[in-house]
Every structure is written in structure tokens, then in C-alpha cells.
Amino acid sequence: MAHLRRQLITAALAANAVRPVRSMRAGIPSFAAGWLTTELAPQLLALTAADTLVSTVRGRTSRWGRLLALGNAAALTALVTQGSRSGDAVAAVLDSDLGADWTERADPRPTKADLATPWRSVATPFRLRDRAIKVVRDLSYGPAGKRNLLDVYLPSGPRAEPAPVLLQVHGGGWTIGNKNQQALPLMHRMAAKGWVCVAINYRLSPRDAMPAHIIDVKLAIKWIRENIAEYGGDPDYIAITGGSAGGHLSALAALTPNAPEYQPGFEEADTTLQVAVPHYGVYDMAGSTGLRSAELLRDAFLAPRVFKTTWAAHPEVFEQASPILRITPEAPDFFVLHGTNDTLVPVEQGRLFVDRLRAVSKQSVVYSELPGTQHAFDVFVSVRSAHVVRAVERYLVWHRNRFRANRVSAADRESAHQPHS
């Protein structure tokens, strides 16, 4: 009956992946099981088939075990199919939010190979070896020792002009995490395509309370402005991305350019960013949306662990750190991604943040809500993350090309207004 027990476990995992448990206590284990099951569905499907075949040949299964295995295979196949459609889903929102002709600036246009699922990479999801890039590790950008180190991902080939820069901010609930653990598929992809990517550590709670985290992000932007040219990067074009707590910090950094409260001792530094691509971020630290989940997160976790104060005592520090409350008409372009099955940061936060951006910002706002997707879907290579990474790449190339064209047009206009001798 060992086969039957294994299939019962697989059935429970598949059921949780399709319909995760949503509560403060159960959210974390539901996330862990659902995330791995959803993103590793091809591998789990193969294991289910192999287990059933071997058990049947050896006479160690039952009719119920085989029927359950068949149902599991169907559920896992549906998860794989859903992941493979993520590329089409993201492409559809890009067409809708940017206009059908946006691809004319996303040069070069993607080939069929670019749009196909890279099954060879999916087969080894945790193995990232790319000769097209090189990594310079553990450069210091601030005074906080190991927590103020960064890595620079570089294209290995020659570059004809300064490369656009992508800053990656890791997640981990503001309390754990490291620069070499997250968004590796995206950074490898962008570096291989000629970008310079920077991944940072930052100070963590509870040792350091908010706003230490965002101050370090700002300090890293200052370092990029002053030093990235040495590594072939363009200091005038910086995109930012991150997931979860990194999504919060990347959105907050983008919405608070040159904010003196987050730049103590370096108030004069230019910390503006050209575009932000937050993934499954926390956008409401103050409970201002009225979402019960946001209020529970604020009172049960953020207040004692991250801010080290209470909402009642200092509501202003929670409000200052809430991206949804820092949106202005001058906000940069945003591409926001969130999964509908996220049990750690409910998708409603992403929806409300985007609604507010669209109501206030003068710039473009793209929102991709990924069906059946859990938190942290982009940490390693999966069917879904491969498609999403390629879509983010196309979006960032479009944005960079548009930025460059606008800069040339501005220079031409300025030249035309100069007096001629």
C-alpha cells in the first residue's frame, strides 16, 4: 500500500496547489507546498508515472492506487498546461496596456524559439550555468558589512555602448534572504541579452528596523550611479525589480525618488529610477486599503518584527513605507505581476495598487495577474517562470528603446532651440 499512500500525498499536494488554504496561520505551509507543486508539476508528473509503472510491474499497487494516480496525472497535466499558457497571458496584457504596436519597439522581435517552452532548462530547474555571462561578487556599497554587498552580472561579450542596468532586490519578509537566492533566471537572461544586473543584500529585521531596508536600496542606487560605468553600465538608465519584500522595496524606491527621509547623509544623491517591475509585492504596510489580510500582517508581523513599534504609536512610519500611499503623477512606468493563488500576499493588494497607479500616475502601468500562481513563482526555472522572464525581458527592451528614443528627441529639441552663431 506504499504506492497508495504516496498517491494520497500527491493528491493532497495537487489539491492545495489548485485551491490553497488562505489564512494567516495556514498561509505559509500552504504556500510552501503549493509553490513547489505548481512550479515543479512536470517533475512531479514524471515521478507519479514512474512510481505507478514500477509499482504495477512489481505487483505493489492496487486498483484504487492506480485510479488515484490517473487523477493525479490529470491534475498535474492541467498545472503544466496552465504554466505553459503564462506566456500568452502576459503577452495579452502587454498588448492591452501598451497597445498592439508596442512590439515594434521591442527589437529584435521574439522568434518561435524565444516563445517556446525551454524544456531542457525546465528539466534542471536549479542548475543555472551560462557562459554568456560573468559575475563580479561581493562588492561593497555601504558601511553595513555583509548586508551591504552586491553582485554584478555582466554579459561576457563586448559592448558597443553602455548597457542598461537592472537592480534586483531580494525578498524574505524583510528578515531573511540573500542576493544570490532569487530572480536568478531573470538576471541570467537579461545579462545574456546585454544588460548589467546588480543584486544586493540589505540590512534585515529584527536587528535593523524599517526604514533601514529602503535606505540601503537607495544607497545601492547611489553606488550604481557613481560606479556602474566601470562595469559597462549606463548610470542614466536604471530599472528595478524584486519579489515579495523585494517587490515592496523596489516599488517604494521607485515612488520615492530623492526622498530625504530615506537618504540620511546622502540627500544630494540622485535616486530616481526609470521603471519598476515588482513581483507579488506588499504595497500596503499600513492597512490603508481596509483589507483584513493587510491589517493582520501589519499588527501580527510588521509591527513587532520589521518596524519594531506599533501602529497606534507611530502610524506615520507605516504610512511612509506603503507604496500605495506614495504614488504621485510623477511615478515612473510600472509593470506589476501577481499570482491569483498567492497565500502570503493576497492578489487584492496587487489589484488595488495598480488601480491607484492608473488613477494617479501619468506614466504607463502594466498589470499581469497570473492564474493559479503562487508566491515566489520566479525563484527557479519552471514552465511558468521561463515564459514570464521572457515577457519581462521584452517589456524592459521596449522600455529601454522608448527611453533612448525620447532622450534623442529631447536632445534634438534642445539643439534646435540653441542660438546659431
Residues 240-266: pLDDT tens digits? 999 999 999 999 999 999 999 999 999
**Could you tell me which residues are beta bridge partners of residue 242?**
169, 278
Q: Which of 188, 375, 387, 399 is catalytic?
A: 375
Distance between CA atoms of residues 259 and 264, nearest Å: 9
Average pLDDT over all residues of the chain: 93
The pTM of this model reads: 0.94
Tell me how far apart the alpha carbons of residues 53 and 57 are, in angstroms, rounded to a whole number. 6
Does the active-site annotation cover 342?
A: yes
Each residue's pLDDT tens digit, 368-409 = 999 999 999 999 999 999 999 999 999 999 999 999 988 876
Single out the catalytic residue among 151, 333, 342, 378: 342
Q: How far apart are CA 297 and CA 283, in angstroms?
A: 12
Task: Give yes or no: 417 in active site.
Answer: no
> What's the grid cell of residue 165?
542596468
Instruction: Kindly compute the dihedral angle of the four CA atoms of residues 370, 376, 381, 382, in this order, to the nearest 10 degrees.
Output: -40
> What confidence category does residue 132 fall into, taking pLDDT thresholds of 50, 70 and 90?
confident
C-alpha span between 350 and 283 (Å, rounded): 7
Catalytic one among 30, 244, 364, 382?
244
- 192-235 pLDDT, tens digit per residue, is 999 999 999 999 999 999 999 999 999 999 999 999 999 999 99
